[in-house]
Structure 1
Amino acid sequence: MLRKIKIKRGVYFVAGAILLFVLIGFVSKKQMDKPFSEVYIDIDYSQGNYFIHENDIRKLINAPGNEVLTGSFAGDINLRNIETKIEKHPFVKEAEVFRDLRGNIKAKIKQKKPIARIINNGGFGAYITDAGEVIPLSDNYTARVVLVKIPSSKKYKVSIEEDEQGKGLFEMVSYLEASKFWKAQIAEISMDKRGEMILYPQVTRQYIEFGKAEDIETKFSKLHIFYTKILPEKGWNTYEKVNVKYKDQIVCE
């Protein structure tokens, strides 16, 4: 008797699964046969960056060879091709393109996150993203990030980590990005040909000789002592320069 009950349950389960697959296939086919009327674009602005606008994405979607025409059947549109086209935009981190139940096309866009802006005297300018990518400046928006001045001979193309100095620079700006205090405090970094860095604070008048991007956490710990103990006692504008390059020393002038 128990064996018969188990067999019946198994039959019902298989029959239900087949029916479910048939219904899914039917709904999917109905979606494919629907002419769509709209492309909906959702850009994530939660990080406060506005490099991309809806019109920028529409231009990519409707570029020659990739046109999405209102009234086209949903099944005739290659969503993967549209995703690939959108993801080639220098400020797009990720794109997801799909159909809704009404057959309309939806595109969800995530932007890349810049953490520093680099410039040199040779006219080169770009952003460094939190992934170490080098992306161009934007005509739409200027991100409020730390400014980095590099030697005129440096022109990073794809990644800031193309050489040892670039790796050190990325480690430095990543550290600032991760620290709420130092991110607010440091306005500018100047790096010379040897990779030596000078930091310029937002508020106080003294500049900081930091040296190379080595022992970063230790050097910032010394700077924290300078800002929380030395300056309150001696006066915020007493010193013109503070040097944390040397081990176990804070040199103030």
Structure 2
Amino acid sequence: MKAKETFLRIAGIIGGCVVLFLMISFVEKRELGYRIDDIDVEIENAFENFFVDEDDVMSLIMENEGDSILGDQFGRVSLKAIERRIESHSFVKDAEVYRDLKGHLVVKAKQNKPIARLMGTRGNNAYVGEDGDLLPVSSKYTARVPVVTGAYVNEMMKLSNVHEGEYDVKVYDLINYINANKFWTMQVGQIDIDSKGYVVMYPQVGKLRMEFGQIEDVEKKFKKLEIFFKQILPTKGWDAYQKKVNVAFKDQIICD
């Protein structure tokens, strides 16, 4: 009796393995049977940033695939390899490639969003991405973001990501602070940082120097700048102080 139960158990296991093998083979054959009829490209943030377009993505898809992969069997096309090629583009943050029920190859690409542009004293330029990575400038599009200038930028340009440097992280946080506040986004057009990390900001319009000093006590300093713009200038007159406002020192607002 025990021998019979053992035989049936073994036979059941073997039968299950055979069925599983046949199912896998069927799925693989069915997958191989599907062909790529069309390619649908979707680019996230396409209306905010124009650093990557459909032609760029298509060029990456076709790379090493000859003239086209249209008509190829899905099972013979490595979707992961296509994802990696698309993500190799500097301005592509993430890519997802899959097949839909219509037999289309669907490509979803998420753009890297620049938060600032670095302009060094040696003519070198780059963008800072939202994750802190340094991105090359593009001939296709110029982002409307704060410009960071000065000798310190030359040091930042040596990094691949601003999180690699302690003071560079502070610069990154300062940029994000400005971009997160609509008032300061409208006010600040340029952030100049000298070799010692001293910050002077300039408005979108005009030549007023906003001397910020070292990147510390950021909220308190912006609060003082807010007092200057929203209380002092309306009271004293908008033409009263046109040269500079200094908030670098504790508990002081120096106007000229």
Q: TM-score range by the shorter chain?
A: 0.7 to 0.9
Structure 1 residue 164, shift from structure 2 partner: 2.9
Structure 1 residue 243, shift from structure 2 partner: 0.3
In structure 2, the residue matched to 1:42 is 42
**TM-score normalised by length of structure 2:** 0.84
Deviations 1:115-159 (A, max 9, x none): 100011212100111211111111111000000003174223311
**In structure 2, distance between residues paired with 1:66 and 1:125:** 35
**TM-score normalised by length of structure 1:** 0.85
Structure 1 residue 68, shift from structure 2 partner: 5.0
Classify 1:27/1:111 alpha carbon distance in 2 versus 1 (closer, same or farther; 3 Å): same
- The farther-off stretch of 180-189 and 196-205 is 196-205
1:82 aligned partner, one-letter code: I
**In structure 1, distance between residues paired with 2:46 and 2:212:** 33
**In structure 1, distance between residues paired with 2:176 and 2:206:** 23
2:248 aligned partner, one-letter code: K
Structure 1 residue 83, shift from structure 2 partner: 0.5
State which of 208, 224, 249 in structure 1 corresponds to 2:252.
249
Deviations 1:205-243 (A, max 9, x none): 421000011011110000000001000111222211100
In structure 1, the residue matched to 2:52 is 52
**In structure 2, distance between residues paired with 1:159 and 1:36:** 38
1:214 aligned partner, one-letter code: E
Please say if 1:228 is aligned against 2:249. Answer: no
Please say if 1:98 is aligned against 2:98. Answer: yes
**In structure 1, distance between residues paired with 2:147 and 2:80:** 37
1:244 aligned partner, one-letter code: V
The answer to whether the Cα contact below 8 Å between 1:61 and 1:67 also exists between their aligned partners in 2 is no
Q: Per the alignment, in what secondary structure is the counterpart of residue 189 of structure 1?
A: strand
The answer to whether the Cα contact below 8 Å between 1:171 and 1:213 also exists between their aligned partners in 2 is no
The answer to whether the Cα contact below 8 Å between 1:133 and 1:159 also exists between their aligned partners in 2 is yes
1:110 aligned partner, one-letter code: K
Q: Per the alignment, in what secondary structure is the counterpart of residue 98 of structure 1?
A: strand
Q: Per the alignment, in what secondary structure is the counterpart of residue 70 of structure 2?
A: coil
Q: Per the alignment, in what secondary structure is the counterpart of residue 194 of structure 1?
A: coil
Q: Per the alignment, in what secondary structure is the counterpart of residue 128 of structure 2?
A: strand
In structure 2, the residue matched to 1:33 is 33
Q: Percent same amino acid among aligned pairs?
A: 40
Q: Per the alignment, in what secondary structure is the counterpart of residue 158 of structure 2?
A: coil
Number of positions where the alignment pairs a residue of Structure 1 with one of Structure 2: 232
Structure 1 residue 99, shift from structure 2 partner: 0.3
In structure 1, the residue matched to 2:140 is 140
In structure 1, the residue matched to 2:176 is 174
CA RMSD of aligned residues (A): 2.2
Classify 1:233/1:130 alpha carbon distance in 2 versus 1 (closer, same or farther; 3 Å): same
The answer to whether the Cα contact below 8 Å between 1:148 and 1:190 also exists between their aligned partners in 2 is yes
Q: Per the alignment, in what secondary structure is the counterpart of residue 85 of structure 2?
A: helix
Classify 1:228/1:28 alpha carbon distance in 2 versus 1 (closer, same or farther; 3 Å): farther
The answer to whether the Cα contact below 8 Å between 2:36 and 2:74 also exists between their aligned partners in 1 is yes
1:192 aligned partner, one-letter code: D
Structure 2 residue runs of 5 or longer lacking an equivalent are 1-21
1:191 aligned partner, one-letter code: I
Moved over 3 A (4+): 22-32, 65-68
Structure 1 residue 47, shift from structure 2 partner: 6.2
The answer to whether the Cα contact below 8 Å between 2:28 and 2:75 also exists between their aligned partners in 1 is no
Structure 1 residue runs of 5 or longer lacking an equivalent are 1-21
In structure 2, the residue matched to 1:212 is 214
1:129 aligned partner, one-letter code: G
**In structure 2, distance between residues paired with 1:252 and 1:168:** 26
**In structure 1, distance between residues paired with 2:134 and 2:47:** 18
State which of 200, 203, 208 in structure 1 corresponds to 2:202.
200
**In structure 2, distance between residues paired with 1:76 and 1:67:** 16
